[in-house]
Protein backbone atom coordinates (compact mmCIF):
# COMPACT_ATOMS: atom_id res chain seq x y z
CA UNK A 1 0.00 0.00 0.00
CA UNK A 2 2.62 2.51 1.16
CA UNK A 3 6.24 1.90 0.27
CA UNK A 4 8.83 4.34 1.55
CA UNK A 5 12.44 3.98 0.42
CA UNK A 6 15.47 5.89 1.71
CA UNK A 7 13.42 8.95 2.56
CA UNK A 8 15.37 12.01 3.64
CA UNK A 9 14.08 15.50 4.40
CA UNK A 10 16.40 18.38 5.16
CA UNK A 11 15.37 21.80 6.47
CA UNK A 12 17.22 25.04 7.13
CA UNK A 13 19.66 24.62 4.24
CA UNK A 14 21.07 21.40 5.61
CA UNK A 15 21.10 22.27 9.31
CA UNK A 16 18.14 20.08 10.23
CA UNK A 17 17.87 16.53 8.99
CA UNK A 18 14.22 15.98 9.87
CA UNK A 19 14.21 12.49 8.33
CA UNK A 20 17.34 10.49 7.72
CA UNK A 21 17.15 7.66 5.20
CA UNK A 22 13.89 6.12 6.35
CA UNK A 23 12.53 2.95 4.71
CA UNK A 24 9.16 1.56 5.68
CA UNK A 25 6.24 -0.41 4.27
CA UNK A 26 2.65 -0.24 5.41
CA UNK A 27 0.13 -2.82 4.26
CA UNK A 28 -3.27 -2.15 2.77
CA UNK A 29 -5.76 -1.89 5.63
CA UNK A 30 -3.12 -1.81 8.33
CA UNK A 31 -3.39 0.34 11.49
CA UNK A 32 -0.01 1.70 12.50
CA UNK A 33 0.90 4.17 15.21
CA UNK A 34 3.95 6.41 15.21
CA UNK A 35 5.63 7.49 18.42
CA UNK A 36 8.69 9.58 19.14
CA UNK A 37 9.76 12.65 21.06
CA UNK A 38 9.06 16.23 20.01
CA UNK A 39 10.99 17.18 16.87
CA UNK A 40 11.87 13.60 15.94
CA UNK A 41 10.34 13.89 12.47
CA UNK A 42 6.89 12.31 12.92
CA UNK A 43 4.88 15.11 11.31
CA UNK A 44 7.41 15.48 8.51
CA UNK A 45 6.94 11.80 7.66
CA UNK A 46 3.15 11.96 7.78
CA UNK A 47 3.01 15.16 5.74
CA UNK A 48 5.09 13.57 3.00
CA UNK A 49 2.93 10.43 2.90
CA UNK A 50 -0.07 12.76 2.66
CA UNK A 51 1.41 14.74 -0.22
CA UNK A 52 1.66 17.96 1.80
CA UNK A 53 5.44 18.06 1.51
CA UNK A 54 8.01 16.52 -0.83
CA UNK A 55 11.17 14.50 -0.07
CA UNK A 56 14.71 15.71 -0.68
CA UNK A 57 15.85 12.15 -1.31
CA UNK A 58 14.11 8.81 -1.60
CA UNK A 59 10.72 7.74 -2.85
CA UNK A 60 7.20 7.22 -1.56
CA UNK A 61 4.94 4.88 -3.47
CA UNK A 62 1.27 4.67 -2.62
CA UNK A 63 -0.84 1.99 -4.29
CA UNK A 64 1.90 1.60 -6.88
CA UNK A 65 2.17 5.30 -7.70
CA UNK A 66 5.34 7.28 -7.09
CA UNK A 67 4.17 10.47 -5.37
CA UNK A 68 6.80 12.52 -7.19
CA UNK A 69 5.13 11.62 -10.48
CA UNK A 70 1.46 12.26 -9.75
CA UNK A 71 -0.80 15.26 -9.17
CA UNK A 72 -0.59 15.71 -5.40
CA UNK A 73 -3.69 17.84 -4.94
CA UNK A 74 -5.75 15.21 -6.71
CA UNK A 75 -4.04 12.51 -4.62
CA UNK A 76 -4.85 14.37 -1.38
CA UNK A 77 -8.42 14.90 -2.46
CA UNK A 78 -9.12 11.33 -3.58
CA UNK A 79 -6.94 9.14 -1.39
CA UNK A 80 -6.08 10.89 1.87
CA UNK A 81 -8.09 11.96 4.92
CA UNK A 82 -6.02 14.19 7.21
CA UNK A 83 -6.80 14.84 10.90
CA UNK A 84 -4.62 17.30 12.79
CA UNK A 85 -4.13 18.04 16.48
CA UNK A 86 -5.91 21.33 16.01
CA UNK A 87 -9.12 20.73 14.15
CA UNK A 88 -8.60 23.65 11.69
CA UNK A 89 -12.32 24.18 11.25
CA UNK A 90 -13.37 27.37 9.49
CA UNK A 91 -15.00 29.59 12.15
CA UNK A 92 -17.65 31.24 10.00
CA UNK A 93 -18.90 27.98 8.48
CA UNK A 94 -21.37 25.66 10.21
CA UNK A 95 -20.60 22.02 11.03
CA UNK A 96 -22.37 20.90 7.86
CA UNK A 97 -20.46 23.40 5.74
CA UNK A 98 -17.11 22.52 7.27
CA UNK A 99 -17.65 18.85 6.51
CA UNK A 100 -18.48 19.65 2.89
CA UNK A 101 -15.22 21.54 2.22
CA UNK A 102 -13.43 18.56 0.60
CA UNK A 103 -16.41 18.08 -1.72
CA UNK A 104 -16.35 21.58 -3.20
CA UNK A 105 -13.89 20.59 -5.92
CA UNK A 106 -16.07 17.69 -7.04
CA UNK A 107 -18.95 18.36 -9.33
CA UNK A 108 -21.70 17.25 -6.99
CA UNK A 109 -25.18 18.63 -6.60
CA UNK A 110 -25.59 20.60 -3.40
CA UNK A 111 -28.28 18.17 -2.23
CA UNK A 112 -25.84 15.30 -2.68
CA UNK A 113 -23.11 17.16 -0.80
CA UNK A 114 -25.48 17.83 2.08
CA UNK A 115 -26.56 14.23 2.14
CA UNK A 116 -22.99 12.97 2.33
CA UNK A 117 -22.14 15.49 5.06
CA UNK A 118 -25.23 14.42 7.02
CA UNK A 119 -24.20 10.75 6.88
CA UNK A 120 -20.85 11.71 8.41
CA UNK A 121 -22.44 13.98 11.04
CA UNK A 122 -24.53 11.00 12.08
CA UNK A 123 -21.49 8.75 12.12
CA UNK A 124 -19.69 11.06 14.56
CA UNK A 125 -22.85 11.40 16.66
CA UNK A 126 -23.39 15.11 16.06
CA UNK A 127 -26.43 15.19 13.79
CA UNK A 128 -28.09 17.67 16.13
CA UNK A 129 -25.26 20.15 15.58
CA UNK A 130 -25.47 20.64 11.82
CA UNK A 131 -26.15 24.39 11.94
CA UNK A 132 -23.76 25.17 14.80
CA UNK A 133 -20.56 27.11 14.23
CA UNK A 134 -17.29 25.86 15.76
CA UNK A 135 -17.39 28.37 18.63
CA UNK A 136 -20.57 26.68 19.86
CA UNK A 137 -18.87 23.28 20.09
CA UNK A 138 -16.58 21.74 22.69
CA UNK A 139 -13.02 20.72 21.78
CA UNK A 140 -14.05 17.10 21.46
CA UNK A 141 -17.01 17.98 19.27
CA UNK A 142 -14.85 20.14 17.01
CA UNK A 143 -12.44 17.27 16.56
CA UNK A 144 -15.35 14.96 15.70
CA UNK A 145 -16.41 17.43 12.99
CA UNK A 146 -12.81 17.50 11.74
CA UNK A 147 -12.92 13.71 11.50
CA UNK A 148 -16.20 13.83 9.60
CA UNK A 149 -14.57 16.27 7.19
CA UNK A 150 -11.54 14.00 6.76
CA UNK A 151 -13.79 11.03 5.95
CA UNK A 152 -16.36 12.63 3.67
CA UNK A 153 -14.34 11.74 0.55
CA UNK A 154 -14.06 8.07 1.56
CA UNK A 155 -10.26 8.14 1.74
CA UNK A 156 -8.29 4.89 1.39
CA UNK A 157 -5.76 6.23 3.89
CA UNK A 158 -6.39 8.20 7.09
CA UNK A 159 -3.44 10.16 8.47
CA UNK A 160 -3.92 11.54 11.97
CA UNK A 161 -1.26 13.77 13.56
CA UNK A 162 -1.83 13.72 17.33
CA UNK A 163 -5.62 13.76 16.86
CA UNK A 164 -6.25 13.51 20.59
CA UNK A 165 -3.39 15.77 21.68
CA UNK A 166 -5.74 18.50 22.95
CA UNK A 167 -8.41 16.22 24.39
CA UNK A 168 -9.22 14.63 27.74
CA UNK A 169 -9.27 10.85 27.99
CA UNK A 170 -13.02 10.51 27.47
CA UNK A 171 -12.97 12.52 24.24
CA UNK A 172 -9.74 10.82 23.14
CA UNK A 173 -11.54 7.52 23.41
CA UNK A 174 -14.44 8.76 21.27
CA UNK A 175 -12.08 10.04 18.59
CA UNK A 176 -10.03 6.85 18.51
CA UNK A 177 -13.18 4.72 18.38
CA UNK A 178 -14.38 6.68 15.34
CA UNK A 179 -11.07 6.24 13.53
CA UNK A 180 -10.81 2.56 14.43
CA UNK A 181 -14.39 1.90 13.39
CA UNK A 182 -13.64 3.31 9.97
CA UNK A 183 -10.45 1.28 9.74
CA UNK A 184 -12.28 -1.93 10.62
CA UNK A 185 -15.48 -1.43 8.66
CA UNK A 186 -14.01 -0.08 5.43
CA UNK A 187 -10.54 -1.60 5.70
CA UNK A 188 -9.08 1.90 5.62
CA UNK A 189 -5.35 2.16 6.22
CA UNK A 190 -4.86 4.19 9.40
CA UNK A 191 -1.69 5.93 10.57
CA UNK A 192 -1.85 7.76 13.91
CA UNK A 193 0.88 9.84 15.52
CA UNK A 194 0.48 9.86 19.30
CA UNK A 195 2.35 10.40 22.55
CA UNK A 196 -0.14 8.23 24.40
CA UNK A 197 1.02 4.62 24.74
CA UNK A 198 -2.53 3.41 25.41
CA UNK A 199 -3.62 4.84 22.06
CA UNK A 200 -0.51 3.57 20.29
CA UNK A 201 -1.17 0.04 21.56
CA UNK A 202 -4.51 -0.09 19.77
CA UNK A 203 -2.57 -0.31 16.50
CA UNK A 204 -1.29 -3.50 14.91
CA UNK A 205 2.21 -2.05 14.94
CA UNK A 206 4.06 0.78 16.69
CA UNK A 207 6.78 2.59 14.77
CA UNK A 208 9.23 4.60 16.89
CA UNK A 209 11.11 7.52 15.41
CA UNK A 210 14.22 8.98 17.01
CA UNK A 211 16.12 11.89 15.44
CA UNK A 212 14.69 11.20 12.02
CA UNK A 213 15.42 7.47 12.07
CA UNK A 214 13.16 4.47 12.66
CA UNK A 215 14.18 2.81 15.88
CA UNK A 216 11.88 -0.19 16.01
CA UNK A 217 9.67 -1.64 13.37
N1 LIG B 1 8.92 23.77 7.80
C2 LIG B 1 10.02 23.56 8.54
N3 LIG B 1 11.09 24.38 8.44
C4 LIG B 1 12.20 24.17 9.17
N5 LIG B 1 12.36 23.15 10.04
C6 LIG B 1 11.32 22.31 10.18
C7 LIG B 1 10.10 22.46 9.45
N8 LIG B 1 9.25 21.45 9.80
C9 LIG B 1 9.91 20.72 10.72
N10 LIG B 1 11.14 21.21 10.94
C11 LIG B 1 12.15 20.64 11.85
O12 LIG B 1 12.28 19.26 11.54
C13 LIG B 1 12.39 18.48 12.71
C14 LIG B 1 11.25 17.47 12.77
O15 LIG B 1 10.01 18.17 12.92
P16 LIG B 1 8.60 17.44 13.01
O17 LIG B 1 8.49 16.48 11.90
O18 LIG B 1 7.58 18.50 13.10
O19 LIG B 1 8.72 16.66 14.38
P20 LIG B 1 7.60 15.97 15.29
O21 LIG B 1 6.31 15.97 14.56
O22 LIG B 1 8.14 14.60 15.57
O23 LIG B 1 7.53 16.78 16.54
C24 LIG B 1 12.39 19.46 13.88
O25 LIG B 1 13.74 19.75 14.21
C26 LIG B 1 11.71 20.68 13.31
O27 LIG B 1 12.15 21.85 13.96
MG1 LIG C 1 4.49 16.82 15.04
Q: Is the dihedral of CA 39, 43, 46, 48 positive or negative?
A: negative
The predicted model gives 175-188 an average pLDDT of 94
Would you say the CB of residue 212 lies under 6 angstroms from ligand 1?
no
What does the alpha-carbon distance between residue 217 and residue 206 come to, in Å, rounded to a whole number?
7
Q: How remote is the CA of residue 6 from the centroid of ligand 2, in Å?
A: 20
pTM of the complete model beyond 0.75: yes
φ/ψ of residue 117, rounded to 5: -65, -40
The predicted model gives 206-210 an average pLDDT of 97
Please calculate the CA angle 170-176-177 and round it to the nearest 5 degrees.
90
Would you say the CB of residue 38 lies under 6 angstroms from ligand 1?
yes
Residue 105 has what pLDDT? 79
Would you say the CB of residue 16 lies under 6 angstroms from ligand 1?
yes
Q: Please tell me the class of the 29-43+72-216 domain.
A: alpha beta
pLDDT digits (tens, 9 = 90+) for 72-106: 999 999 999 999 988 789 999 999 999 999 888 77
Would you say the CB of residue 41 lies under 6 angstroms from ligand 1?
yes
What does the alpha-carbon distance between residue 76 and residue 71 come to, in Å, rounded to a whole number?
9
Q: Domain boundaries in the chain? A: 29-43+72-216
Q: How remote is the CA of residue 105 from the centroid of ligand 1, in Å?
A: 30
Could you identify the atom of ligand 1 that is nearest to the CA of residue 161? 21
Q: How remote is the CA of residue 35 from the centroid of ligand 1, in Å?
A: 15
The predicted model gives 1-12 an average pLDDT of 95
What does the alpha-carbon distance between residue 91 and residue 61 come to, in Å, rounded to a whole number?
35
SS3 8: strand
Reference 147, options 85, 66, 58, 212; nearest CA is: 85
- At residue 216 the predicted structure's pLDDT band, cuts being 50, 70 and 90, is low
Give the ligand whose atoms come closest to the C-alpha of residue 210.
1
- Mean model confidence pLDDT for the chain: 93
Q: How remote is the CA of residue 203 from the centroid of ligand 1, in Å?
A: 24
Residue 117 has what pLDDT? 95
Residue 14 has what pLDDT? 81
Reference 126, options 158, 87, 183, 159; nearest CA is: 87
Q: How remote is the CA of residue 154 from the centroid of ligand 1, in Å?
A: 29
What pairs with residue 135 in β-bridges?
none
The predicted model gives 34-58 an average pLDDT of 96
* Polymer length of the chain: 217
Residue 44 has what pLDDT? 96
Residue 217 has what pLDDT? 53
To test the pocket of ligand 1, the residue of 12, 16, 82 to mutate (highest count of ligand atoms within 8 Å of its CB) is: 16
Q: How remote is the CA of residue 194 from the centroid of ligand 2, in Å?
A: 9
Torsion of CA 104, 108, 109, 113, to 10 degrees: -60
pLDDT digits (tens, 9 = 90+) for 12-31: 888 889 999 999 999 999 99
Would you say the CB of residue 40 lies under 6 angstroms from ligand 1?
yes
For the chain, what is the largest distance between any 2 Cα atoms, rounded to a whole number of angstroms? 51
Q: Is the dihedral of CA 42, 68, 180, 177 positive or negative?
A: positive
The predicted model gives 211-216 an average pLDDT of 88
Per cent of the chain over pLDDT 90 is 84
C-alpha to C-alpha distances, 92 to 4, 50, 87, 132, 136, nearest whole angstrom: 39, 27, 14, 10, 11
Residue 193 has pLDDT above 60, yes or no: yes
Amino acid sequence: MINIKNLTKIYDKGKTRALNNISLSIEDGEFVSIMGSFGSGKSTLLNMVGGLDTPDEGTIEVMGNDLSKINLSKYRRNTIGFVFQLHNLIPNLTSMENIQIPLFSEKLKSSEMKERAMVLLNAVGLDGFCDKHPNKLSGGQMQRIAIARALVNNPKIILADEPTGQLDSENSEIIMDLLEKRHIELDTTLIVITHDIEIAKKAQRIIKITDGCIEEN
